[in-house]
Amino acid sequence: MCRQLRWNASMPTPSAAPKLLDVARDRIRTRHYSYRTETAYLLWIRQFVRFHRGRHPRELSGPDIEAFLSSLAVDRHVSASTQNQALAAILFLHREVLGIELDWLDRIVRAKRDVRLPTVLTKDEVTRVIGLMSGTASLVCSLLYGTGMRLCECLLLRVKDIDFDYRQIKVVYGKGGKERMVPFPSRLTEPLATQLERVRAMFDADRAAGLAGVQMPYAQEVKHPGAGATWGWQFVFPAKFLLRDRGSRRWLRSHVHPRGIQRAMAQAVRSSGIAKPASCHTLRHCFATHLLERGQDIRTIQALLGHSDLNTTMIYTHVLQRGGLGVVSPLDD
């Protein structure tokens, strides 16, 4: 998700004939897909049309889609998951935008995804990496490791989602629109309180300047006019600069851009000398694995991570096997 609103001066007026991408964008938003899904789908639809030299998708059939997917694998060497994402975008275009339901759509073969084990850092490695960061990046990455949240889930936190009394944090905009509760790390009580003091100072300055407030999700601004200018709806990690809303053209405050946190994490990993390819999402893997090592039951970890399928959570048990299926090497004998 992590949506960053920008005003697009080239957006069509209500009287203009809607273009294919504009209709696709409307269909995606009607179904409340995330902003990242919207961006990815529109990108693949644009590349699909460009690959076939501007021909309208109504004129294309199954072999044309297979030719595009084959080109992605053979010429561009994309992964199976990327190829499947492109296929999902094309199927959405035909079914939801063009209203085409043909037999060949169901016969399109999806690429088989590789099964890869997640990278996991030890507790000492996590401490080294986070210790090399400072400011907002340090606090965000500490929350990722301490709660198991995804990066965008953390950046989308509002003041009202953090409960200091009950020691819990509410993830409202999880993957798939699922809400869940995650633990409140006691060690972050003071840093979070200090962060909210900074947010409060920024909030008071925005109110004094007469700004509209922060970005609001979906139709919350319509249901609760002015809620974006209230304290509870402020982002825990607000951006320094304002963005212009595409619809209302008001200047609003968004959250910190994820790219800045990702760069800080990458720099910390390089500086630590750790050879593992760790990223912000690696801290989520560490959260689950270290809980398993401590004896936490797998069902609880599934709920904390927000997984619908237990098999998704079971992949973290590979670390507990201490090598290939827990087998002791004969060389050690």
Identity of residue 315: I
Residue 325 backbone phi and psi in degrees, to 5 = 55, 25
Residue the block writes with tokens 């959570």: 313
302 found inside a domain: yes
117 found inside a domain: no
Round to whole Å and give the CA distance between 138 and 188.
Answer: 11
* Full domain range(s) for residue 53: 20-106
> Tens digits of per-residue pLDDT, 234-245?
999 999 988 887
> Which one, of 132, 108, 80, lies nearest residue 274 by Cα?
132
What is the predicted pLDDT for the residue at 212? 81
> Which one, of 207, 202, 196, lies nearest residue 230 by Cα?
207
| Confidence band, pLDDT 50/70/90 cuts, at residue 1 | very low
Total structural domains within the chain: 2
Instruction: Let me know whether 62 and 159 are in one domain.
Output: no
Instruction: Let me know whether 225 and 267 are in one domain.
Output: yes
> Tens digits of per-residue pLDDT, 182-217?
999 999 999 999 999 999 999 999 999 988 888 887
What is the predicted pLDDT for the residue at 70? 87
116 found inside a domain: no
Instruction: Let me know whether 79 and 165 are in one domain.
Output: no
* CATH number, residue 202: 1.10.443.10
The per-residue pLDDT of the chain, averaged, comes to: 86
| Confidence band, pLDDT 50/70/90 cuts, at residue 323 | low
All residues at 6 or more sequence positions from 231 whose CB lies less than 8 Å from its CB, including other chains? 159, 200, 203
**Average pLDDT of the residues in 301-318:** 88
185 found inside a domain: yes
287 found inside a domain: yes
327 found inside a domain: no
Instruction: Let me know whether 149 and 273 are in one domain.
Output: yes
164 found inside a domain: yes
Instruction: Let me know whether 101 and 128 are in one domain.
Output: no
Instruction: Let me know whether 48 and 157 are in one domain.
Output: no
203 found inside a domain: yes
Rounded to 5°, angle at Cα 306 from 162 and 154: 40
0.75 surpassed by pTM: yes
Q: Tell me which residues are annotated as active site.
A: 150, 175, 281, 284, 307, 316
Round to whole Å and give the CA distance between 319 and 293.
Answer: 9
Instruction: Let me know whether 151 and 216 are in one domain.
Output: yes
* CATH number, residue 69: 1.10.150.130
Q: SS3 for 124? A: helix
> Tens digits of per-residue pLDDT, 262-286?
999 999 999 999 999 999 999 999 9
Q: What percent of the chain has pLDDT over 70?
A: 85
